[in-house]
Amino acid sequence: MYCRHCGAYNDESSRYCENCGSALYAAPQFPQEDNNPKNRKRKIIWAVIIAAMAVLLAVIAVVVWKNVTQQEQYTEQMSLGEKYLAQMNYEDAEICFREAIEINPRQAQPYLQLSTVLTETKRYEEAQEVLTQALETIPAKETARTEAIKRRLSEVEKLIEESEAEEEESKDALSIAMDVLGYPYLSDNSYVIQFIHEDNNVKMSCIEDEGILSADLYDYDQDGQDEILAIVLSSQDTQLLSQVFVLNMLEQEESGEWKLSAQLTVSGEYQALDDISCPARMEFFAKSYDDHMGIFMEATGIASHLADGASWELFQAVYQNGTFRQEGEGIAMAGSDDIADACFQMDDTYDTHGYEEGRETILRFTGNVRALGFDPDRLGWDAPLTEQDDSLRSLVRLQKSTQVTSSEAFEWINGGGAQPFGEINVVITDFTKTREAQETSAEGSYQAEIMTYQGNEDIQYPRFSPSSPTVDQWNAHFEEMAATVQSTQDDMLADGITNAWAKQEAQIMYQEGSLVSIRFLSDEFYGGAHGMTREFGETIDLNSDHTYTLEELLNTDTATAQQMVNDGFNQLIAANPDEFFGDAVSDVSPDFQEVGYYKTPEGIKVISTLYWLAPYAAGTHEILLQPVGT
């Protein structure tokens, strides 16, 4: 190499210039370009791999984040849906469960919960569609999930069959009655009759057709099996009446065939469709009492054309043990004197003044009306009893009216009345469709509110709305319960027990239409080592005065209900023996006084009373029973 200082040539191995002694430095060496195609391809592949890995990591991060977010959203929707379902807020619960399915369609639980919402609202076919969708969406290998869906689908299909059978029974009640009795159907028809002069008497002609006015499928003898009540209009002339009404009760035999079980001809002291009343009304309806189902005929009218006066009467029949009987003597009032007028304009002051002659008659009449659960202040030919109480089961109404004036009628009479005169319209209305619509619209129509008694936060009771005679009766009952609790505390304090208390909690546990189940928790202390707590329930029908028994809630008889309660508590004792008395055995009495009970969406909850099976320290115990057939 050459020295860069003096230019002399030096051997390649020399480190210093042999001429001038300066240090020799080699020129910088640069890497040679790699023109090998294989090496260049390898570098490109590695670059692509590194880039792909970076993209993959980014995608994984996004997927993980999205899954975490979806899981949170799914959990939130399920929690909200279950909360709304427990509150029987079915509309919002349905929205949440459908949203949960949208988020995670492979989970079984939202499908199951949504099907519960749909069945609770009687939308069985929609529930079937949802569960079928679940089976199509959830992989078959997820056997635990699919088996749960299949079980629920089977239950829904059974509900569909039962619903269709009920619809078929209801639809066939009229045709069954027509086949068994051999009469045509008359209702929803209008008839024209006339004033006639016959045998020196002036009266109105009668409806010549004979037939069925109404056919109603219902458990009229309260034996757990529905009957068909068919009301028949017959034109059999008698000494007093032109129209005869016959109650026919049909029972279904074990073979499935329907047979006529009993008949009763309705005969009142007066009848609204008699010879002289116009306008007039006759109505049949049913009312539930504690020990029977009353079948009523209300007949009322005004003799404004051929006489002067008014009439009102109420006839009650009862069907039990395969026969009809008339309940009581019937209630009737008629005439044109002050007594009859008083009964159609009634006032409580009649027991102290006015209408001296006949006061006892008025008071007896109004007392009899009240005893049946009706308001005598609202009687009249144009004021049906069915408008006093929505719980009454309307069956059929016949209403008679005319455009003929009374003066025209008397002019015809004074002229000899040789030919039939004027038109009188009789309209027959069957309430079957109206009743079905009312029963459908009544579902969920009642609102409940938990009240405190006279500002005492420790004493609660339920109040229901809107107002009706039966709802008002229940509200008074529950307020009286609260008043009794307050009175108990006041009495204990008056006795010098200064640390005494009496409390009552109230909670709505179940509501479907007019059926409501309320849980009460009573807590009292009146001295001694400790207070006494009692948990109990009342399950009621807001449309009537009926309180459901445990047997009714369990859909069985007393003996079976006792066995179910005993089996449940004995299993609990066997599983947790340390919580019970050493010799504890459940042997509940036929009146179930040892337990409290109420209905919940999950089943019938039964609670033991203190000291029945366990010491005080162990508290009460509860079991959950399912009604027979569910």
From the list 302, 468, 309, 449, the residue with the least C-alpha distance to 383 is 302
Residues 517 and 558 in one domain: yes
For residue 235, what pLDDT is reported?
Answer: 67
- Say whether pLDDT at 340 is over 60: no
- Please check whether residue 506 is in contact with residue 520, taking contact to mean a CB–CB distance below 8 angstroms: yes
Query: Per-residue confidence at 443, pLDDT binned at 50, 70, 90?
Result: very low
Measured distance CA(600)–CA(509) in Å, rounded: 5
- Please check whether residue 245 is in contact with residue 272, taking contact to mean a CB–CB distance below 8 angstroms: no
Q: Which residues of 171-207 are buried (b: 16+ CB within 10 A; e: fewer)?
A: eebbebbbebbebebbbebebebebbbeeeebebbbb
The pLDDT > 90 percentage for the chain reads 29
Lowest-confidence pick of 91-100, 187-196, 560-569: 187-196
Give the residue, 242 or 509, on which the prediction is more confident. Answer: 509
For residue 346, what pLDDT is reported?
Answer: 39
Query: Per-residue confidence at 281, pLDDT binned at 50, 70, 90?
Result: confident
Mean predicted confidence (pLDDT) in 560-570: 94
CB-count burial class (<10 Å; 0-12, 13-18, 19+) for 471: buried
Residues 240 and 350 in one domain: yes
For residue 239, what pLDDT is reported?
Answer: 40
For residue 595, what pLDDT is reported?
Answer: 94
Tokens 């809107």 label which residue? 466
Domain presence at residue 169: no
What are the backbone angles phi and psi of residue 250, rounded to the nearest 5°? -110, 135
For residue 199, what pLDDT is reported?
Answer: 66
For residue 67, what pLDDT is reported?
Answer: 59
Mean pLDDT of all residues belonging to the chain: 81
Query: Per-residue confidence at 442, pLDDT binned at 50, 70, 90?
Result: very low
Mean predicted confidence (pLDDT) in 274-282: 76
Q: What's the CA angle centered on 518, arms 562 and 120, to 5 degrees? A: 85
Using DSSP's 3-state secondary structure scheme, residue 109 falls into helix
For residue 39, what pLDDT is reported?
Answer: 63
Chain centroid offset of residue 359 CA:
45
Query: Per-residue confidence at 347, pLDDT binned at 50, 70, 90?
Result: very low
Measured distance CA(590)–CA(576) in Å, rounded: 26
| Per-residue pLDDT reduced to its tens digit, 511-532 | 988 889 999 999 988 777 778 8
CA atoms within a 13 Å half-sphere pointing along the CA-CB vector of 243: 28
- Please check whether residue 390 is in contact with residue 543, taking contact to mean a CB–CB distance below 8 angstroms: yes
Mean predicted confidence (pLDDT) in 325-329: 84
Helices (H), 346-461: 359-371, 406-414, 432-442
Last residue of a domain, one of 162, 196, 231: 162
For residue 405, what pLDDT is reported?
Answer: 80
Domain presence at residue 376: yes
| Per-residue pLDDT reduced to its tens digit, 115-171 | 999 988 888 999 999 999 999 988 888 887 888 888 889 989 988 887 777 665 555
Residues 519 and 480 in one domain: yes
- Please check whether residue 453 is in contact with residue 483, taking contact to mean a CB–CB distance below 8 angstroms: yes
Helices (H), 545-596: 550-554, 558-575
The residue length of the chain stands at: 630
Domain presence at residue 318: yes
Domain presence at residue 454: yes
For residue 264, what pLDDT is reported?
Answer: 92
Range among 243-247, 335-339, 407-411, 611-615 with highest mean pLDDT value: 611-615
Last residue of a domain, one of 440, 467, 502: 440
Residues 513 and 612 in one domain: yes
Give the tokens for residue 199: 């045998």
Domain presence at residue 344: yes
For residue 25, what pLDDT is reported?
Answer: 60
Residues 285 and 295 in one domain: yes
For residue 168, what pLDDT is reported?
Answer: 59
Measured distance CA(104)–CA(108) in Å, rounded: 9
For residue 493, what pLDDT is reported?
Answer: 84
Residues 26 and 42 in one domain: no
Domain presence at residue 172: no
Mean predicted confidence (pLDDT) in 330-349: 58
Mean predicted confidence (pLDDT) in 27-49: 63
For residue 362, what pLDDT is reported?
Answer: 75
- Please check whether residue 399 is in contact with residue 427, taking contact to mean a CB–CB distance below 8 angstroms: yes
| Per-residue pLDDT reduced to its tens digit, 444-468 | 468 899 999 988 889 999 999 887 7
Can you give the C-alpha Rg of the chain in angstroms? 42
Domain presence at residue 70: yes
Measured distance CA(304)–CA(567) in Å, rounded: 68
Q: How many domains would you assign to the chain?
A: 4
Please provide the DSSP assignment of 202-235 as one string. Answer: EEE------EEEEEEEE-TT-SSS-EEEEEEEE-
Lowest-confidence pick of 97-106, 173-182, 363-372, 595-604: 363-372
Residues 226 and 265 in one domain: yes
Give the residue, 465 or 434, on which the prediction is more confident. Answer: 465
Give the tokens for residue 40: 């260049």
Please provide the DSSP assignment of 517-546 as one string. Answer: EEEEEEEEE-SSSS-EEEEEEEEEETTSS-
Residues 216 and 143 in one domain: no
Last residue of a domain, one of 408, 440, 472: 440
* Helix 143-181 with 124-137: angle, nearest 10 deg: 150
Please provide the DSSP assignment of 429-445 as one string. Answer: EE-HHHHHHHHHHHTT-
| Per-residue pLDDT reduced to its tens digit, 64-108 | 565 557 788 888 888 888 888 877 788 888 999 999 998 888 888
Beta strands 227-234; 211-218: pairing state? antiparallel
For residue 349, what pLDDT is reported?
Answer: 39
- Say whether pLDDT at 329 is over 90: no
Which domain does 24 fall in, by range? 1-30
For residue 238, what pLDDT is reported?
Answer: 45
Query: Per-residue confidence at 494, pLDDT binned at 50, 70, 90?
Result: confident
Residues 107 and 156 in one domain: yes
Mean predicted confidence (pLDDT) in 232-243: 62
- Say whether pLDDT at 392 is over 80: yes
For residue 240, what pLDDT is reported?
Answer: 42
- pTM for this predicted structure: 0.46
CB 484: neighbour CB atoms within 10 A? 13
Check which CATH number belongs to the domain holding 99 and give it. Answer: 1.25.40.10
- Say whether pLDDT at 438 is over 60: no
| Per-residue pLDDT reduced to its tens digit, 349-388 | 334 344 555 667 777 888 888 888 888 877 777 778 888 7
- Say whether pLDDT at 28 is over 70: no
CB-count burial class (<10 Å; 0-12, 13-18, 19+) for 247: buried
For residue 561, what pLDDT is reported?
Answer: 93
Measured distance CA(294)–CA(222) in Å, rounded: 11
Mean predicted confidence (pLDDT) in 405-429: 74
Residues 276 and 302 in one domain: yes
Residues 413 and 464 in one domain: no
Residues 456 and 381 in one domain: no
For residue 352, what pLDDT is reported?
Answer: 37
| Per-residue pLDDT reduced to its tens digit, 119-135 | 888 889 999 999 999 99
Domain presence at residue 246: yes
